[in-house]
Chain A
Amino acid sequence: MALRELPLRTASAVLRETTRPAVNAARPALARSASSAALHDVEESSFTVSPPADGAAKEFDPVSRSRARRLRNKDLPPSRYQFRPPKYYRGPLHPHQPPPESDPASRVFQPGPFSLPRLEQTYQSTIAADILTLTYQHYPPGYRAPKIGQRLREWTGDSPYYKNRPLRPPRGSDRLRLLTEPRTFRNIPAITKVTVHAMVPEAQNDSANLHVAGMILQAISNVRATTHKARHNVVQWDLREGKYVSATTHMEHEDAQHFVAKLIDVVLPRIKEWKGVPGSSGDGSGNMTFGLTPDQMALFPEIEVNYDAYPPKMIPGCHITIGTDATNNKDARLLLQAVGIPFYGKLND
């Protein structure tokens, strides 16, 4: 058991030792290629066995079987069937290794996915193909895109200190912008993550504000909220260093898809006189942010169902950031528009 839990490299290192003749003798039997034919004769596959009769499947009752076994005091051997993974990771050479995260026995196992979101299906069947058609750029046959080499400038001059110096920073900003690759069916922008962030500076005086904010974020996002402290004193914003001021949830995969769908189908259409997401939104690398006010938060169905449980004055507003694969604002906006989020005002391209 312990040997099987070890990583492959360690197991092979054990087998390589020549000082242990017993293990060395067992080596050819463990090698996969040597005895695969022999294994076939010994082990029988479940595919070769004919399925049980219909009556056997109907009569099979695992619960009563287990109860009967317990009555007879013949429990299953605990070492194999009641496996508890180690609480602490003790390094790759320790004989007791934790199972992978995807194993339900693991301590960090997260169940899911639970459904195939409707938005995901719409994206696969309709939106992705339309975006590809809309952003298609034709190149004549034989065209090869010019290679993009070093994008940063080097230090040129006579100074001996220029030797081996890091490259000069980009012009105009402190970081390089993302490159936009030519559009193919492999890099159509998609929604990858959603972050909901609620800033509650009132929580510095009364922590109940932060609890309410956390509960609301959890309710609408299905993800545990994390809290943040203020990093600096900012007098204008009434922030004091080291005090808890905000809560965040990060959603991915199924949660993110469900959240965006809920937002588009339920919440945003019910906001009165909502103009849309400001066109100035977007950070240039595919993320779009917009805000909701406290009274708009009450429109989420999860909040509406027990609105009385939240103190009305403590319900926070929030910022919602929708992260996409796109590498510029234009593509990200095109995706969100296709999904159903309107934009207004001057566009930030």
Chain B
Amino acid sequence: MNAGHQTTRRLVSSVGQSVCRACRHSLSRNSYATAAAAVQTDDSAFQHVPPVASTEPQASYAVKGGVLLSRPPQITRDLHPFEAAYFLYQRRLNERLALPFTRYFYIKKRSPADLEWKRKLRQRLTPARDIGRYKGYGDEAWNDEVLVGANESDFQWQVQRLVKDAEQNGLEDKSEEGGPVRAGKKVEREPVERPLSRVTEADTKGDLKSLNRLLQRTLYLLVKDKEGHWVFPQDRLDQENLHTAAERILKQSGGINMNTWVVGNVPVGQHQHDFAPESLKASPNPHQLGYKTFFMKARIMAGQPILTENKLGLTDFKWLAKEEVQKAVRKDYWQSVKNMLTER
């Protein structure tokens, strides 16, 4: 315990109720970083904790717990055309500058695989299979940039080249050109497994309830509450901490059909809702000005919410990306939640 700590603790104890329990706990903790501190500084000059005047009865806010349930991105994002072009340029540069491919270390001499390799190399001129026809050595090695309208830097084109390379043996193009087709035995190859589409059925149908939509983006669970507003699942706190409240809210809203993980014990954001003045006059507790919702972050691993038996009066749910959330929720709600949603 050092001087800075003691000052802070004294301040906290003098202030009384204005500092929450978690803060007081963090102040009383002796971490590694502070253990070695030795310099005596006059912290009282800098520490400014505003005094709290106690007035009875106090106007207050109810506290709610909310859950920001999200599904992280499942696949890599689409590259910007400039990024794709840059990567292709660097790979072609690499063909020019790297040591030559050690063929005999990987392919036995005078084997069928060797013949195939030679055929394919004659066609594409370079060991790399997905950078197009490019020669890294010789007088024209400088010509490593693709022309306007070429699709060599396109990701789908590169995937196609790799699949084609795995499927074909280098003789197909010759027969197409009309050259002599060898009458030898036809080697049947196993069909290569194609990569799955990056756009799913849920995307094309516009199914907002599927977790298979927008695989490149983070999806957030939005539910429709009693008043018909789209919000994140939330409920009044009931003598419990935020972490257990988040787990309870998930169970009571979406049922047990979800495999979820609540990340950490601290909220990632908060929303303050003020009641309208006219409804405040009519309410039985006029000192309660509104409620504050503290959002806990959670991840979904599997499953889907089932709202049939939910205890929070929810009527509908959607999985939305960030900009779709903006369109769905009210403006003041968006202002307070937008910074806890990730861009991607």
Chain A binder among B91-99, B169-177, B182-190, B285-293: B91-99
Q: Given A151-B36, A309-B105, are A57 and B149 neighbors across the interface (CB < 8 Å)?
A: yes
- In A87-132, the 8 Å CB interface with B consists of 104, 109, 111-116, 118, 121-122, 124-126, 129-130
Asked if A184 is an interface residue, CB under 8 A from chain B, the answer is no
What is the bound-complex CA distance between A305 and B113, given in angstroms? 13
Answer whether residue B344 sits at the interface, using C-beta atoms and an 8 A cutoff: yes
B87 on the interface (CB 8 Å rule)?
yes
- Whether B39 lies near A148 (C-beta < 8 A) is yes
CB neighbours of B297 from chain A (8 A): 130, 133
Contact, CB under 8 Å: B148 / A57: yes
Chain A residue contacts of B19, Cβ below 8 A: 140
CB distance from A10 to the nearest CB of B (A): 30
A147 contact set on B, CB distance < 8 A: 4, 37, 39, 41
Interface size class of chain A, counting residues whose CB lies under 8 Å from the partner chain: 35 or more
Which residues of B in the span 297-344 have a Cβ within 8 Å of any Cβ on A? 297, 299, 342, 344
**CB distance B23 to A138 under 8 Å?**
yes
Residues of B within 8 A of A150 (CB): 38-39
Binds A, one of B71-79, B159-167, B206-214, B272-280: B71-79
Q: In the complex, what residue of chain A is closest to B25 when comparing beta carbons?
A: A138
Contact residues, A278-309 vs B (CB, 8 A): 305-306, 309
Contacting residues of chain A (52-105) with chain B, CB-CB under 8 angstroms: 57-58, 60, 62-63, 66, 104
Please determine whether A125 and B33 come into contact, CB atoms closer than 8 angstroms.
no
Closest A residue to B91 by CB, please name it.
A114
Total number of residue pairs linking A and B with CB closer than 8 Å: 134
Establish whether residues B34 and A146, one from each chain, have CB atoms under 8 Å apart when the complex forms.
Answer: yes
Closest to A118 in B: B76
Contact of B151 with A by CB under 8 A: no
CB atoms of B39 and A129 under 8 A apart: no
Does B3 interact with chain A (Cβ within 8 Å)? yes
Contacts of A345 in B (CB 8 A): none
Closest to A67 in B: B140
Which of B44-52, B58-66, B117-125, B224-232 has 4 or more CB atoms under 8 Å from chain A? B44-52
B143 lies within 8 A of chain A by Cβ: yes
B282 at the interface (CB under 8 A from A): no
Query: In the complex, A2 Cα to B98 Cα: how many Å?
Result: 30
**B47–A148 contact, CB under 8 A?**
no
Q: Is the CB of B90 within 8 A of A114?
A: yes
A111, A129, A141, A306: the one within 8 Å of B94 (CB): A111
B-to-A contact residues, CB < 8 Å:
2-5, 8, 12, 19-20, 22-23, 26-27, 31-34, 36-39, 41, 43, 46-49, 72-73, 76-77, 79, 83, 87, 90-91, 93-94, 97-98, 105-106, 140, 143, 147-149, 218, 263-264, 266, 268, 297, 299, 342, 344
